[in-house]
A and B are shown apart, each in its own frame.
Chain A
Amino acid sequence: MSLAESLTAPSSDASSANFVSPQKPILVSAADRHDWPPAIRLAGLGATLGEFEVLRDVTAQFPKGRQTIIIGPNGGGKSTLIHCLLGQIPHQGQIHFAPPKPRIGYVPQRPDFDRYLPLTSAEFLALGVTKRPIWLGLSGPIRRRIKAALDLVKAGALADKPLGGLSGGETQRVLLAAALLTDPDILILDEPATGVDVYGEQLLCELLEGFKNSFTVIMVSHDLATARAHGDWIVALNRRVIEEGPPEKIFQPTILSATFGLHQGLIFGQHPEPEPRKVEPPRSCCR
């Protein structure tokens, strides 16, 4: 089975190519899923960066206590949408939060930490949760709180490791701990698996699965297999919302083709076989 086929195969197909975790059974029908109350509703959202209209009339919803995954091509406005939700860039249209003014935890794409900056993971986490300057050391309660957050993301052993020396997966888990320390109602992750190996990605997805009922999770992902396996709700975005709904609704050839702006054949492997490469003899042989 090709990757394209695996992405569009029925969810119950046990042979689906999914390296993240076993395919979860569908416990709730698609019709029921539309009854999930929204944590966020977008109405006619638009945003421009410079003179370029990145988002146009985006209307969508993110179900409360569920994991919504935003998919789309590069330049499709996924990160811009995240920044609109975070209130970091101006936008047109409406963003309705329910309840209003929720606490939002944010895990960005892997930031470019200075590898040689003397700062441990625990100190880094303390920067965001206490005013007590880190040059005085971490107080007992703060250290315990940070340790608990790190344990929650299976990173307790990283507390005293230098921040710049962490691997991609370790960095993402520390950033996830930083977001959890804000006690969020909504957790937003922007391509958290970028630069993370298979093990790190699997661990991250398992952690997010565990958080599902605690708060609303919104994640941007380029990995369609991950989106299909772990998303409760998928928003297919290419400057506007192409479609939203449960995975089995979104992972259809027509929707994915429309989202990623490609001919179906390119996505679903129907392009002709490439011609065999012609190997020319070295010039010295021809003389």
Chain B
Amino acid sequence: MLSLEPLYSLLGAFYEPMFMRRAMVGLFLLSLAVSGAGVLALSRRMAFFPDTVGHSALAGLAIGLTVGLDPRLSVVVFGLFLGMFIVFLTRKAKISSDASLALVFSGAVALGLALISRQPRNAAGLNRWLLGDVLTVGDGEIWALLVLDILALVIFAWHYNRLILSSVFPAGLASRAWVDYLFGVFLALVSVLAVQAVGVLLATALLVTPAATSRILAKTGRSFFWLALFFSLVSGQLGLWLSFQPGVNASAGATVVLTSLFFLALAALYRKLVGRV
């Protein structure tokens, strides 16, 4: 495997500790994938989708531990299954998207708790899986995020228009089913990989908040995408930097989330005073 050391050396100008350099790269790569995915989720009025699939990591983890599978694999497989199941519920069972998300959310968390409670000795690593910590990101997570970015770029380059069209005007597509399932699978994959890398709180916040901030300010579909990416990158890096300041010294994940929410508030104020950009 290629070494990331040269990259980390370059980032020595920003942070001295190696874990901060890794976190910087991890957040950068995460922002690239999740900002566009957030735009897709908000366009489909399914902002709760990443949170639902993200929380399914608990059940995925529990299933992996129960049947003896690698938890990293079981989390991804179970997340993808739930993503498709949500799309199935909205398409075939005619359950509204918000109700489908609520049902799957409660079901996945309950299943995870039921399985985990049977094996209390395995519950020690749950905090790491659920809450995560961007400062513990390792080379494995960075490579996984890089793969996710490449996949996201392929999806955004070839299928972005169809995914948006299927969200805002389903009647405009002759064949919609595969686009719907592509949406479910892609967003589920982004959610579970992001949750594995940085935890459910940070992953879901970075998926939804920058896109929501952009939606407040943007006039066009083009600026919607780019502003979401901008706020995702800036919130991630500024939040990380803030957490490292002696006066703050708080959890990096929490400061990133709070920074993204601060930008959301600023955007709402700007929109009220000036208008869209």
**Distance between Cα atoms of A162 and B223 in the complex (Å):** 13
B26-46: contact bitstring with A at CB < 8 Å (1 yes, 0 no)? 000000000010000001010
Q: Are A134's CB and B164's CB within 8 A?
A: yes
Q: Are A119's CB and B220's CB within 8 A?
A: yes
Task: Assess whether B156 is interfacial by the CB under 8 Å rule.
Answer: yes
Q: Are B169's CB and A126's CB within 8 A?
A: no
Contact of A117 among B36, B43, B156 (CB under 8 A): B43
In the assembled complex, which residues on chain B have CB atoms less than 8 Å from the CB atom of A52? Answer: none
Interface residue range, chain B = 20 to 34
Q: Are A137's CB and B45's CB within 8 A?
A: no
A95-120: contact bitstring with B at CB < 8 Å (1 yes, 0 no)? 00000000000101001011011111
In the assembled complex, which residues on chain A have CB atoms less than 8 Å from the CB atom of B161? Answer: 126-128, 130-134
In the assembled complex, which residues on chain A have CB atoms less than 8 Å from the CB atom of B214? Answer: 118
Contact of B215 among A118, A124, A131 (CB under 8 A): A118
Smallest CB–CB gap between A105 and chain B, Å? 10
Contact of A123 among B158, B222, B226 (CB under 8 A): B222
Tell me the residues in window 236-269 of chain A with beta carbons closer than 8 Å to chain B beta carbons: none
In the assembled complex, which residues on chain B have CB atoms less than 8 Å from the CB atom of A119? Answer: 164, 168, 220-221, 224
Smallest CB–CB gap between B155 and chain A, Å? 10
Interface centre among A120, A130, A133, by most chain B C-beta atoms within 10 angstroms, is A133
Tell me the residues in window 139-158 of chain B with beta carbons closer than 8 Å to chain A beta carbons: 156-158
**Distance between Cα atoms of A130 and B221 in the complex (Å):** 15
Q: Are B224's CB and A118's CB within 8 A?
A: yes
Task: Assess whether B218 is interfacial by the CB under 8 Å rule.
Answer: yes
In the assembled complex, which residues on chain B have CB atoms less than 8 Å from the CB atom of A111? Answer: 169, 171
Q: Are B215's CB and A178's CB within 8 A?
A: no
Q: Are B220's CB and A133's CB within 8 A?
A: no
In the assembled complex, which residues on chain A have CB atoms less than 8 Å from the CB atom of B91? Answer: none
Task: Assess whether B160 is interfacial by the CB under 8 Å rule.
Answer: yes
**Distance between Cα atoms of A136 and B153 in the complex (Å):** 13
In the assembled complex, which residues on chain A have CB atoms less than 8 Å from the CB atom of B182? Answer: none
A137-B158 contact in complex given A116-B215, A117-B43, A124-B169, C-beta closer than 8 Å: no
CB closest chain-B residue, reference A104:
B174
In the assembled complex, which residues on chain A have CB atoms less than 8 Å from the CB atom of B43? Answer: 114, 117
B252-277: contact bitstring with A at CB < 8 Å (1 yes, 0 no)? 00000000000000000000000010
In the assembled complex, which residues on chain B have CB atoms less than 8 Å from the CB atom of A116? Answer: 215
Smallest CB–CB gap between B15 and chain A, Å? 31
In the assembled complex, which residues on chain A have CB atoms less than 8 Å from the CB atom of B164? Answer: 119, 127, 134
Q: Are B45's CB and A127's CB within 8 A?
A: no
Q: Are B222's CB and A135's CB within 8 A?
A: yes
Contact of B221 among A108, A123, A131, A132 (CB under 8 A): A123
Smallest CB–CB gap between B221 and chain A, Å? 4
Q: Are B165's CB and A128's CB within 8 A?
A: yes
5 contacts between A and B (CB under 8 A): A118-B215, A127-B162, A128-B173, A132-B161, A134-B221
> Residues on A close to B: CB < 8 A?
106, 108, 111, 113-114, 116-120, 123-124, 126-128, 130-137, 162-163, 178
